[in-house]
């Protein structure tokens, strides 16, 4: 019996009791209104509900007395062993061993699908994250947004959302010209311009550009710059994409900012031109001092924003507007932006933009701000000179340790990681602790096979040891943890859950044998425990996958 079934059973029990006290009071109630939670103290049962305390006042009832009525009726529910009332009206529910243990087979049968849910079904989401400038390698901040953004995408997809992972390429503007001049200067053997990009990676790009265009320096001046810039841009973008794939982060869309500014083949307006016209049609654009403005203060912004300057040039806000509208045009009703710590000013701006576009700023757009991260002892990149590169971090700490650690904390939490801990093969290292638990489930499975223990029998009522009750209770929670992590955009909840599950599994392993000792006969208890072992391994594997972390079978 899972929490959803218990919630439905509570609804079936409570509704007639409420109607007897106050006719019509249960109208519109659904099972989801009756939240079931695991009590912190397992001595209090398998599940608990505060339904009596929540409803008693509206029904004119004493909470504890109403809880006693609910408990008496709920006891008759199939799969419920006992129900007790505690404190001012908490309802503590203990399941029959068979009803609780049946979960092990459910999980094994579901396999990789266990934990998936439909709480986000119907949501069409564009999730934009990382969006690094294609003018250099990705740094430690991008590393955090990559791990976190991809994990958010995974829990949303597991919860039924239709989602695209998108990388916005900032490939227009002055920084691209500085980038091109920097590469061309090194191709000519000249010093990098004063406002250019330092680092030996520029030298590497120059060599690669020259290898592709051996005639680069024979081209006319403007053609030299354009060619150097465009070739270096393509090479650097390819490097960024390779770094992300090596970090187990896949993007569905790489959207070029240049697309927003490009005119049609026959001179049709650009997407930026079109955005201004569309915002004007919404009634939020006005002209002042020869410039074009958007009245974003109507939607909580601290000041109105210029979208086109008096000289006719568009502002960055114009590109933001065109990009936002383009996402809507591609069918994404909900947009999530994961931005760095230096982008706090964008929150009100983007929400005001959503309002000006005719959307609901509180419903259709989310802006998540990630805080800074540092790693003790990390050295600046030899190639870039002034940053800590993603590739260097991955090679030093490993993809799994880095991804798990960065997804283990909320986005808005400043973070300092300790490499000594992350490289240890001990229980002090959280990712090792969880991965070791998964590897142990496979080791148990191998030993079971060698001892002749198979899953040919399943007798769930035999799983009555206290550590089995605790382990089953935690396994039951996994789909709800995934759903909640998706709803609040906090994949760190999956990581913390996995650590708790690993601890419960290790305690079960210490107390309950899957393989017989010596000449002991193989029994249905051993076979049934193998189901529980394999179910735990499956949930650990599914949870690690949601974080983009591998689940090794041997360690």
**Last residue of one domain, picked from the residues 343, 373, 403:** 373
Give yes or no for residue 210 having a pLDDT over 90: yes
**How many domains does the chain fold into?**
4
Check whether residue 106 and residue 138 sit in a common domain: no
Mean pLDDT confidence for 335-354: 88
Residue 233: predicted pLDDT? 98
Does 128 or 347 have the greater pLDDT score?
Answer: 128
Residue 43: predicted pLDDT? 74
Three-state SS letters, 70-90: HHHHHCCCCCEEEEEEECCCE
Mean pLDDT confidence for 389-395: 92
Interval 443-483: pLDDT, tens: 999 999 999 999 999 999 999 999 999 999 999 999 999 99
DSSP secondary structure letters along 199-215: SHHHHHHHHHHHHH-TT
Distance between CA atoms of 273 and 308, rounded to whole angstroms? 10
State the chain's mean pLDDT as an integer.
93
Interval 140-174: pLDDT, tens: 989 999 999 999 999 999 999 999 999 999 999 89
Residue 311: predicted pLDDT? 94
Give yes or no for residue 518 having a pLDDT over 90: no
CATH of the domain at 60: 3.30.1360.70
Residue 98: predicted pLDDT? 83
- On whether residue 391 sits in a domain, the answer given is no
Please return the burial class of 438, using the count of CB atoms within 10 Å of its CB with bins 0-12, 13-18 and 19+: buried
Secondary structure element (H or E) that encloses residue 10, with its range: helix 3-21
Check whether residue 439 and residue 325 sit in a common domain: no
**Last residue of one domain, picked from the residues 215, 244, 273:** 244
Check whether residue 158 and residue 230 sit in a common domain: no
Q: Do 304 and 295 form a contact (C-beta atoms < 8 A)?
A: yes
Check whether residue 43 and residue 60 sit in a common domain: yes
- On whether residue 387 sits in a domain, the answer given is no
Distance between CA atoms of 243 and 549, rounded to whole angstroms? 16
pLDDT band at 62; cut points 50, 70, 90 = very high
Give yes or no for residue 379 having a pLDDT over 80: no
- On whether residue 407 sits in a domain, the answer given is no
Does 512 or 414 have the greater pLDDT score?
Answer: 512
Mean pLDDT confidence for 262-278: 92
- On whether residue 415 sits in a domain, the answer given is no
Check whether residue 111 and residue 187 sit in a common domain: no
Percent of the chain past pLDDT 90, that is, above it, reads 81
Give yes or no for residue 35 having a pLDDT over 90: no
Residue 229: predicted pLDDT? 97
Check whether residue 222 and residue 259 sit in a common domain: no
- On whether residue 503 sits in a domain, the answer given is yes
Give yes or no for residue 382 having a pLDDT over 70: no
Mean pLDDT confidence for 346-360: 92
Check whether residue 150 and residue 181 sit in a common domain: no
Distance between CA atoms of 96 and 316, rounded to whole angstroms? 62
pLDDT band at 380; cut points 50, 70, 90 = low
Which one, of 107, 131, 106, 112, lies nearest residue 546 by Cα?
Answer: 112
pLDDT band at 300; cut points 50, 70, 90 = confident
CATH of the domain at 258: 3.40.50.620
DSSP state of 514: S
**Last residue of one domain, picked from the residues 219, 244, 269:** 244
Give yes or no for residue 402 having a pLDDT over 90: yes
Interval 1-23: pLDDT, tens: 778 888 999 999 999 999 999 99
pLDDT band at 375; cut points 50, 70, 90 = confident
Check whether residue 278 and residue 295 sit in a common domain: yes
Work out whether the CA dihedral 87, 91, 97, 101 comes out positive or negative.
negative
Check whether residue 159 and residue 306 sit in a common domain: yes
Check whether residue 163 and residue 289 sit in a common domain: yes
Paired sense of beta strands 47-49 and 373-375, if any = unpaired
DSSP state of 314: B
Distance between CA atoms of 402 and 397, rounded to whole angstroms? 6
pLDDT band at 381; cut points 50, 70, 90 = low
Check whether residue 528 and residue 429 sit in a common domain: yes
CATH of the domain at 528: 1.10.730.10
Domain that residue 224 falls in: 174-244
Strand residue runs (E) in 345-463 = 365-369, 373-375, 415-417
Distance between CA atoms of 149 and 338, rounded to whole angstroms? 7
Check whether residue 265 and residue 327 sit in a common domain: yes
Mean pLDDT confidence for 334-345: 88
Helix crossing, 63-74 with 51-59: angle to 10°?
Answer: 120
Residue 264: predicted pLDDT? 87
- On whether residue 440 sits in a domain, the answer given is yes
Residue 117: predicted pLDDT? 96
């Amino acid at each position: 019996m899972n929490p959803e079934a218990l919630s439905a059973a509570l609804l079936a029990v409570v509704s007639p009791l409420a109607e007897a006290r106050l006719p019509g009071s249960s109208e519109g109630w659904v099972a989801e209104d009756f939240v079931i939670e695991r009590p912190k103290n397992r001595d209090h049962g398998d599940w608990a509900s505060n339904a009596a305390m929540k409803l008693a006042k509206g029904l004119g009832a004493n909470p504890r007395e109403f809880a006693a009525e609910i408990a008496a009726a709920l006891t008759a529910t199939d799969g419920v062993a006992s129900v007790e009332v505690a404190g001012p009206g908490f309802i503590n529910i203990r399941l029959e061993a068979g009803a609780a243990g049946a979960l092990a087979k459910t999980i094994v049968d579901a396999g990789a699908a266990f934990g998936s849910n439909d709480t986000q079904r119907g949501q069409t989401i564009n999730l934009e994250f990382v969006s690094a400038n294609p003018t250099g390698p990705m740094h430690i901040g991008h590393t955090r947004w990559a791990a976190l953004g991809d994990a958010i995408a995974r829990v949303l997809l597991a919860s039924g959302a239709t989602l695209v992972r998108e990388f916005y390429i900032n490939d227009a503007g002055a920084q691209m010209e500085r980038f091109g001049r920097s590469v061309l200067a090194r191709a000519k053997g000249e010093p990098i311009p004063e406002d250019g990009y330092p680092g030996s990676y520029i030298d590497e790009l120059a060599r690669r550009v020259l290898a592709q265009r051996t005639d680069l320096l024979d081209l006319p001046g403007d053609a030299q710059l354009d060619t150097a810039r465009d070739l270096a841009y393509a090479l650097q973008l390819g490097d960024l994409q390779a770094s992300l794939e090596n970090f187990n982060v896949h993007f569905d869309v790489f959207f070029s900012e240049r697309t927003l500014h490009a005119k049609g083949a026959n001179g049709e307006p650009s997407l930026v031109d079109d955005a201004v016209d569309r915002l004007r049609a919404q009634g939020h654009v006005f002209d002042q001092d020869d410039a074009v403005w958007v009245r974003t203060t109507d939607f909580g912004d601290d000041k109105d924003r210029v979208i086109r300057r008096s000289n006719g040039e568009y502002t960055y806000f114009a590109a933001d507007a065109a990009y936002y509208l383009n996402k809507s045009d591609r069918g994404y009703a909900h947009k999530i932006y994961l931005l760095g710590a230096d982008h706090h000013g964008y929150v009100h701006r983007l929400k005001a933009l959503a309002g000006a576009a005719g959307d609901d700023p509180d419903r259709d757009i989310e802006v998540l701000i990630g805080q800074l991260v540092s790693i003790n002892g990390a050295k600046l990149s030899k190639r870039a000179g002034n940053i800590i590169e993603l590739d260097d971090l991955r090679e030093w700490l490993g993809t799994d340790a880095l991804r798990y650690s960065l997804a283990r904390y909320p986005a808005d939490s400043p973070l300092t990681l300790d490499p000594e801990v992350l490289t240890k093969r001990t229980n002090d290292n959280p990712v090792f602790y969880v991965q070791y638990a998964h590897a142990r489930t496979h080791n148990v499975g191998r030993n079971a096979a060698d001892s002749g223990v198979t899953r040919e029998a399943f007798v769930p009522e035999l799983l009555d040891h206290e550590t089995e009750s605790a382990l089953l209770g935690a396994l039951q929670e996994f789909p709800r943890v995934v759903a909640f992590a998706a709803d609040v955009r906090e994949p760190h909840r999956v990581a913390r859950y996995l650590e708790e599950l690993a601890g419960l599994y290790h305690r079960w392993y210490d107390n309950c044998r899957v393989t017989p000792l010596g000449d002991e006969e193989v029994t249905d208890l051993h076979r049934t425990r193998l189901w529980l072992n394999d179910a735990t391994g499956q949930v650990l594997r599914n949870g690690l996958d949601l974080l983009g972390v591998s689940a090794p079978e041997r360690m």
